[in-house]
Structure 1
Amino acid sequence: MPLQVESLSYATGGRTLVDAVTLHAAAGETVGLVGPNGSGKTTLLRCVYGTLRASAGRVLVDGAELTGAKERARRIATVPQDGQTGFELTVREVVAMGRSPHKRFWEPDTAADERLVTEALARVGVLDLAERAFPGLSGGERQRALVARALVQQPGLLVLDEPTNHLDIRYQLDILTLVRGLGTTNLLALHDLNLAAYFCDRLYVLHGGAVVASGPPADVLTAGLLAEVYGVSADVGVHPATGAPTVTYLPGPETATALSRPAGERKSSTI
């Protein structure tokens, strides 16, 4: 299910947080959003999945704008950074909420629904936590449960905001491998540039709410761009086993130099 974001902006309190962003993800493609804190990644994702209303521009899913909340929930599943339900629900009950867009109000779960929930819990490695209270889980356990909830929603588009937050390295790799293998179109924000380089087909770099570079990871992740956008020195090579770009951060004067320049003097490049 393809995604098209066209000239999307979001402003609040006199500040523009997302500035005329255009991006696309082809059906089945995994596209990453990267950029420093405050660059607009989470705000952009919220506009895509509908919790924020864009000030300008539009979002097309499978060629159409989604108008109703239920229609949007049938097409798009979301995994927030660190979601809480606000209720003392079990993990199984939280994951089962992913079936609600496909059901009438108060319609009970069927045997097929319960099977989907159990399969999703097993796929993300939390089946043994199914009867635990969701608020009592660790951050990593909650994150895996939220991915399971997205799976049972059976979306065409999966939107994930830092899905590897709080996860140890094994589950970071497991979750992103799982997402890549779902067959969905995936749009995800990531801080870890090496994970983004390995798991994403293409990257969009946000800085100050705008796209400053886009393309395949090997084209986007350059030492020059990292110096300009992140204000750090880095060596970017090619990993001999994976063929993906690998970023090694270096101590040095570039960090202090880049951060000392006024924001208006920091040039950005679009690929």
Structure 2
Amino acid sequence: MNGSTVAVRGPQEACITTVEPSQAAEASVSHEELVRFFSVLSHDLKSPIFAIDGFSELLLTDYNAKLDEEGQDFLQRVRSSAQNMKRVLDDMSGMVKLLARPNARKPTPLREIVEEVILKYNFQIEEGGVKVDMPDQMPTVIVDPEKMREAIGAIVGNALFFTDREKGERHLAIDCSTEAANVKLCIRDNGIGIDPRYVSQVFDLGGVSKLDKARGGGPGYGLYLAKRVIESHGGALTVDSVPGTGSAFCFTVPLA
């Protein structure tokens, strides 16, 4: 017999199920097809979005004088929304492709990854007057650097989004410590915190969008991606949050 044999045990019996190679191949193809389907869907959705963006730009350029101030504002909002939707589709397409491929782990300086993330968000950090603290020295870890950069970036981006501007100084603290053969990295903010009703959902796909309706709900897939990436490295992502005080997201990755 060429298939794989799996024992399935119930309360009173055990049965043997044979998974033929063709079934395994079919499951693999289905996964690849799902990734391809999303790529095609993303491409098709971009066509009308590009049209909205292009025509709204044309109206703002050639017909701006014929619109009153309110009309100009509405049209600018239309264009901004179209551009934001393009970014969302690009980000989600990248997320699907990133999660679909196997990890390419190698020894990587953790500080190098964190610095790249901070550089990516440098504009938001400077514009918002966010104070960032991080240790001068961080160990080398065994990770897929591209995936880990996206995971840490999702956590930092979430922290910046929910850090309250009205509380005065906005603060982001990054610290790490060693635990046996792992490194524990924590990213802390002094933001609005998480409503206890939603803590258990924060890592679900779309879970973050429930946290703050007044700000548009926030990105709904970043922390989901971070959790999946960290778990694929054998770690766990946790959150400790106090409403009105801030949140701390911590996870472990293996030392080099």
Structures share a fold, TM > 0.5?
no
How high is the TM-score relative to the length of structure 2?
0.27
| Higher-RCO chain (CA-CA 8 Å, sequence separation at least 6) | 1
**As a proportion of its length, which structure holds more helix?**
2
- Higher-Rg member (1/2): 2
How high is the TM-score relative to the length of structure 1?
0.26
